[in-house]
Structure 1
């Protein structure tokens, strides 16, 4: 079993690891670039920033790496499996480069910062290495690489937010888009490399966020997802209006762009999500009733080792509060099995917490030690791999049941659904999501609906991953 297992509630909308950009007026550009993104939504968002910077330098995007002058891999270090996948892919591009000497291959993102010397010196897999805070220097680094030099910039910043760069929307459906509201992370979770690869937390200018949301809506987009490693700690002092903007206030400002613009956000930290955020969600119909609330472990002892800064009881109280303020809120989570010293009792605590929280879906992993993290320095990775995998299997089986039960409860209900495109399985069906982030598939029939339209859909059937319904008249 792989070290990452995602419950497939969102199977109709999930993207693969590889992410090829769309071809946008290719003939107007002298050179072409191809980019693949791995890992979290933030990486996909960063690729859109990189695409904007490259486009301004005369590079056009292509889906075909064989015709590209520049190949970039935007990488993830969160799991060992992700690094193995990227390394294998780089080896493949190295072989292509041997037959095309002019081709440049570069690594961006978290692996770039963490493994720069290995890529450049030991393995000679790439021509340039660029960290998450150094994308503005790409034009200079490309020029250096074109002369045969190895180019690298992995310096972290305390100020960079790319607030002034308008992202080029890659492989877009024209309906949904990401907006990065902050970068970095101050939560030193002992298992996580993000603070070391993306630097300290800093929030983006509130005015640039609202302007980006407005621009997207004006261009026909109907949903934005506000992104950050911990969105609930967003904090901006608006000197123009003499106002302190918290995440709750930011959420309201984005919702006020238009009642026709749906707003989502990811990711929340249990210790930081506030009543202000929950009450704002309940106040505005266009703020989706969905929260991704990572658990990681249901054991207070393990949570302390993970430096998650909350207890089992704190998390349970937070879920209870969410249900009180937003009764129909969808909740998803992240879960790690087999963290250092985890016992069967700790594992049972995780299972019971899943039952109590009744997650709609979860992203589930077994622990893989990441070099440089606090856990790697402090603790022994002492849970045998076969035990990790067995516990992960039990977690996955439980989540599958919870997802099934959650979807079963929706049969007979009618939801407002935003059409995102064709169903993956049939062009005769539309696919969209409801406020709770559940995928709903329904037949097109003779209705004159199109992507980006809101429709009311009654759920008649379901699978573990998908709701199945039919269009009904407005409520």
Structure 2
């Protein structure tokens, strides 16, 4: 028998969906009477909510476990998320943790902790179809900007990606359940909702409403001011969703649409199922619907077989699109994916490093240009938290830029702001007219 934990700490790695899952696991433990603490070293139960997308993710888990057990401490440790799903039994064998739970089974976390207290095996990596949401408690802690998972899993099987194996097939949550949770979040204080999914624009239901139909329903919720969604796949960008960017006032002018490479040859090797040209034509349609939209993307450099010419194709695509922001990574093989077996054409680490630097410089150039173009404009800013200076508050523009200003507005207020300066990673503004809360 082990002592029943009284305090807990959740540490989440990786994507926004992991952040959402971490929040929900925290709510599960709070509903059991445990008290949250920000100090992992003081918690009786530490939940490591892991991500398996990048290289060395597993080793980071073991490193964290080692740090938690320093100085003779023996907290109860639960490993959750995608590393748990991929390597659950090995984690139990190697690290002797108390609980291992996959991302589709974390609603069972309280029961698993109970088993661990009793000295029983506490491993659950089953992948049922979205049953967990009905077992989760009501949301307890809600920020002005809240996440709402609407879809999970992926059927695309990009050759580099482990998500289909750790999150399972694409599954959409029921329409009514999403709308009910959205209303509850707004009632609890959320003014902006970000709809989450591995391929969020693949969301659909038996009535064929598609993500655009779901967004139209959420648009009618009184008190909700903003709607966002991420992450999208180019192949699921339907005409109705493109029109929604022109027709739904609450849908923010921001689209994260990963392309990964500008080379058709590499896109084919990645099994991305879209071409450079089809991606660019899709962006033309989006911009025709919403001319002021900010575009974001993901890029992988050094995919097996990538030549300098392939990489130059990526740079020219970036220059053609003009991203407001983007995320870039060096390729790292994930065990069990087809790309991990592509040993021919391996790109040396020093070449990857040099290409990543050039790519990130191009992205930074375009981000700075996008931010500079915002200077002198006025826009609504949703205040999300306090800043470091007296009277300073921080929030987001419609284009997902961080904005700081001196104001007596409170967290959750929407204020009209004139942007007076564009810095590399944020905007400075002055308040104009306070919008009604």
TM-score by length of 1: 0.87
Conservation of the 8 A alpha-carbon contact between 2:5 and 2:44:
no
Return the offset for 1:125.
Answer: 4.3
Return the alpha-carbon distance in structure 2 between the equivalents of residues 81 and 438 of structure 1. Answer: 31
Match of 1:197 in 2: 166
SS in structure 2 at match of 1:461: strand
* Structure 1: unaligned runs, 5 residues or longer: 1-28, 238-242
User: Does residue 165 of the first structure (1) align with residue 136 of the second (2)?
Assistant: yes
Conservation of the 8 A alpha-carbon contact between 2:107 and 2:135:
no
Conservation of the 8 A alpha-carbon contact between 2:259 and 2:297:
yes
After superposition, the C-alpha distances for 1:273-309 in whole angstroms (9 at most, x for unaligned) are 1221121122122111100011110101100111110
Match of 1:186 in 2: 155
After superposition, the C-alpha distances for 1:385-423 in whole angstroms (9 at most, x for unaligned) are 110111000001111111111111111111111111223
Conservation of the 8 A alpha-carbon contact between 2:148 and 2:196:
yes
* Structure 2: unaligned runs, 5 residues or longer: none
Return the alpha-carbon distance in structure 1 between the equivalents of residues 254 and 105 of structure 2. Answer: 33
After superposition, the C-alpha distances for 1:158-198 in whole angstroms (9 at most, x for unaligned) are 3435145245456x5x3111000011111101111010011
Return the alpha-carbon distance in structure 2 between the equivalents of residues 390 and 229 of structure 1. Answer: 30
User: Does residue 124 of the first structure (1) align with residue 95 of the second (2)?
Assistant: yes
Match of 1:263 in 2: 227
User: Does residue 436 of the first structure (1) align with residue 410 of the second (2)?
Assistant: no
User: Does residue 38 of the first structure (1) align with residue 13 of the second (2)?
Assistant: yes
Match of 1:316 in 2: 280
Matching of residues 305-384 of structure 1 within 5 Å = 305-380=269-344, 382-384=346-348
Match of 1:4 in 2: none
SS in structure 1 at match of 2:255: strand
Conservation of the 8 A alpha-carbon contact between 1:157 and 1:199:
no
Match of 1:455 in 2: 415
Quick one: structure 1 residues 205 and 131, their matched pair in 2 at CA, closer, same or farther if it must change by over 3 Å?
same
Q: Which of these residues, 326, 339, 353, is aligned with residue 389 of structure 1?
A: 353
Return the alpha-carbon distance in structure 2 between the equivalents of residues 169 and 400 of structure 1. Answer: 38
Aligned residues: 432
Q: Which of these residues, 371, 395, 412, is aligned with residue 407 of structure 1?
A: 371
Return the offset for 1:62.
Answer: 1.8
Quick one: structure 1 residues 135 and 348, their matched pair in 2 at CA, closer, same or farther if it must change by over 3 Å?
same
Return the alpha-carbon distance in structure 2 between the equivalents of residues 319 and 279 of structure 1. Answer: 13
Conservation of the 8 A alpha-carbon contact between 1:127 and 1:149:
no
Return the offset for 1:316.
Answer: 0.6
Return the alpha-carbon distance in structure 2 between the equivalents of residues 427 and 214 of structure 1. Answer: 34
Return the offset for 1:345.
Answer: 0.5
Return the alpha-carbon distance in structure 2 between the equivalents of residues 294 and 43 of structure 1. Answer: 19
Match of 1:111 in 2: 83
Return the offset for 1:377.
Answer: 3.1
Return the alpha-carbon distance in structure 2 between the equivalents of residues 434 and 235 of structure 1. Answer: 29
SS in structure 2 at match of 1:415: strand
SS in structure 2 at match of 1:244: coil
Quick one: structure 1 residues 186 and 95, their matched pair in 2 at CA, closer, same or farther if it must change by over 3 Å?
same
SS in structure 2 at match of 1:115: helix
Of the two structures, which has the highest relative contact order with CA contacts closer than 8 Å and spacing of 6 or more? 1
Quick one: structure 1 residues 55 and 406, their matched pair in 2 at CA, closer, same or farther if it must change by over 3 Å?
same
User: Does residue 209 of the first structure (1) align with residue 178 of the second (2)?
Assistant: yes
Matching of residues 138-287 of structure 1 within 5 Å = 138-163=109-134, 165-166=136-137, 168=139, 174-237=143-206, 243-258=207-222, 260-287=224-251
Match of 1:6 in 2: none
SS in structure 2 at match of 1:226: strand
Return the offset for 1:82.
Answer: 3.7
Q: Which of these residues, 56, 60, 79, is aligned with residue 54 of structure 2?
A: 79
Return the alpha-carbon distance in structure 2 between the equivalents of residues 104 and 313 of structure 1. Answer: 52
Conservation of the 8 A alpha-carbon contact between 1:164 and 1:208:
no
Return the alpha-carbon distance in structure 1 between the equivalents of residues 29 and 345 of structure 2. Answer: 42
After superposition, the C-alpha distances for 1:414-436 in whole angstroms (9 at most, x for unaligned) are 1111111223x424322111111
User: Does residue 426 of the first structure (1) align with residue 389 of the second (2)?
Assistant: yes
Conservation of the 8 A alpha-carbon contact between 1:178 and 1:227:
yes
Matching of residues 462-473 of structure 1 within 5 Å = 462-473=422-433
Quick one: structure 1 residues 353 and 259, their matched pair in 2 at CA, closer, same or farther if it must change by over 3 Å?
farther
Q: Tell which deviates more after alignment, 307-316 or 158-167.
A: 158-167
Return the alpha-carbon distance in structure 1 between the equivalents of residues 331 and 5 of structure 2. Answer: 45
Return the alpha-carbon distance in structure 1 between the equivalents of residues 187 and 104 of structure 2. Answer: 29
Return the alpha-carbon distance in structure 2 between the equivalents of residues 86 and 192 of structure 1. Answer: 19
Return the offset for 1:57.
Answer: 2.6
Quick one: structure 1 residues 342 and 268, their matched pair in 2 at CA, closer, same or farther if it must change by over 3 Å?
same
Match of 1:99 in 2: 73
